[in-house]
Amino acid sequence: MNEYRKTNTTVSLINYHFVFCPRYRRKIFLRADVEKRFKQLVPEICEELKIVIVALECDKDHTHMFLNALPTLSPADIMAKIKGVTSKKLREEFPHLQHLPSLWTRSYFVSTAGNVSSETIKRTLCRTTKNKGVNAMSQTITVKVKLLPTKEQANILQEMSRAYISTINMLVSEMVAEKKSTKKSSKDISAPLPSAVKNQAIKDAKSVFKKAKKSKFATVPVLKKPFCIWNNQNYSFDFSHISMPIMMDRKATKTPIRALLIDKENRNFDLLKHKLGTLRITQKSGKWIAQISVTIPTIEGPGLKVMGVDLGLKVPAVAVTDDEKAHFFGNGRQNKYKKRKFRSVRKALGKKKKWNAIRKLDDKEQRWMKDQDHKVSRAIVNFAKDNKVSVIRLEQLANIRRTARTSRKNEKNLHTWSFYRLSQFIEYKAGLEGIKVEHVNPAYTSQTCPKCSEKNKAQDRKYKCKCGFEKHRDLVGAMNIRYAPVVGGNSQSA
């Protein structure tokens, strides 16, 4: 609107552009009935306030408004009225919004649009909402493939791996001494490596130096485990081999190395069709492993719900959705029994001084724990997918070992179970399904009553509140995690 409005005392042309969001960035406008009702309510409010709507559009988790107002109304007055009325009405009319104390956040964006034509404003809003409900994302995962090199190839890979990490350590020490990044190229490095691998080593060394510089050189990482990396332009593969340049008779020669790329369901080849990243080759427990980085495009799902997940020892994971659907995952008793069994066998082997057997047992225990985490995380993501969840909220587990209070009986389990690994598995599997994962502050989530917000301590597994609310304490934790404040970054190692 670019026409002046006149009252008894004023002549004005004030166009405001407002943008505001629902609480927790909920995707409320993916439901057509919510958007339709919102667009019915706003004109009613604007008519009462003598505001002219130039344009009104909704994206999945926010709304744009171009409004022409009289000078007697401030932007704060306009927002207070629109947010207040729509919040009350929408929560009354739509049951899935009733549990929210208020529908909108307190913040908003506002700018003056000036003397801009209505057509220009409408075209701008149409472009911003063109792809509503579709948010392209990507997820990077690692495909692991077992290699079967000949004895000669295995020896070459060992020499190259040792040369690779020694080159990185040398470059990092030089950069730390000079306090600046290196300008060396592959010609300046005399290591027995192909030039492409030398360039990758320089790149990795610069990355290590940046991390050391951020900590003001308080800690300078030193690589110890041998490995070697090729970028995606220097390797290829077929159904039975992976080919990359290695040093043969002091010359870089692209050599095929036998690899077990085919699995029962052809999962590896399905994944390797996507965008390829670096190839990392390392030796683990006497076996050669190729780790290929793959970036998979995903589309954010159309779900509307938030799901809280509480992690623990007695119950590995508990999930609760917005509509109060709950599920317990894993078997805490079985996990503790297995851990005790491994400890007792390890103690008996220690008395007999069978150190190699102890190392093998540790590997077996870690593989078992990792398998349990994979199964639990897969079940959680499938539950979220079945219930059309768009956001999974996990508790941030920073310093859990120092802050958590537990019995002496469970203390060893607390210090040996990897909560961080489980949360990482949930995060990457959810990403492949287009489900977002957020980390929240877990303070008092197991003590606060979801009904009246009073704090109470649970008796063993039962939580009781004076208001009459009763639940399993882990269910209470998961319910509160849904609406706990989101913290920046990922959870730290636990």
List, for residues 164-177, the tens digit of each pLDDT value. 999 999 999 989 88
Nearest Cα to Cα of residue 329 among 448, 426, 204:
426
Q: Which CATH architecture has domain 300-481?
A: 2-Layer Sandwich (3.30)
What's the pLDDT score for residue 119? Answer: 61
Q: How far apart are CA 52 and CA 267, in angstroms?
A: 57
What does the block give as tokens for 118? 């209505």
Q: How confident is the model at residue 39 (pLDDT cuts 50, 70, 90)?
A: very high
Nearest Cα to Cα of residue 475 among 450, 438, 442, 441:
450
Average pLDDT rounded to a whole number, residues 260-289: 86
Given a cut of 60, is residue 420 above it in pLDDT? Answer: yes
CATH 3.30.70.1290 positions along the chain are 5-133
Q: How confident is the model at residue 2 (pLDDT cuts 50, 70, 90)?
A: low
Given a cut of 80, is residue 270 above it in pLDDT? Answer: yes
What's the pLDDT score for residue 165? Answer: 93
What's the pLDDT score for residue 137? Answer: 67
Given a cut of 60, is residue 54 above it in pLDDT? Answer: yes
Q: How far apart are CA 382 and CA 374, in angstroms?
A: 12
Give percent of the chain with pLDDT exceeding 70. Answer: 88
HSE-up of residue 227 (Cα within 13 Å, Cβ side): 17
What three-state secondary structure class fits 154?
helix
- Between 258 and 340, whose confidence is greater? 258
What three-state secondary structure class fits 351?
helix
Which residues have a Cβ under 8 Å from the Cβ of 45 and sit 6 or more positions away?
Answer: 51, 81, 82, 85, 86
Q: What is the pTM of this model?
A: 0.63
C-alpha of 345 from chain center: 37
pLDDT in tens, 201-251: 999 999 989 888 888 888 788 888 999 999 989 999 988 899 999 998 888
Q: How far apart are CA 262 and CA 267, in angstroms?
A: 8
287, amino acid identity: K
Q: How many CB atoms lie within 10 A of CB 204?
A: 20
Nearest Cα to Cα of residue 100 among 108, 90, 110, 109:
90
Which residues have a Cβ under 8 Å from the Cβ of 265 and sit 6 or more positions away?
Answer: none
Given a cut of 60, is residue 409 above it in pLDDT? Answer: no
Average pLDDT rounded to a whole number, residues 395-414: 56
- Tokens 């269910």, residue located: 475
Instruction: Report the b/e string of 25-52 with b at 16+ CB within 10 A.
Output: bbbbbbbeebbebbeebbeebbeeeebb
CATH 3.30.70.380 fits 5-133, yes or no: no
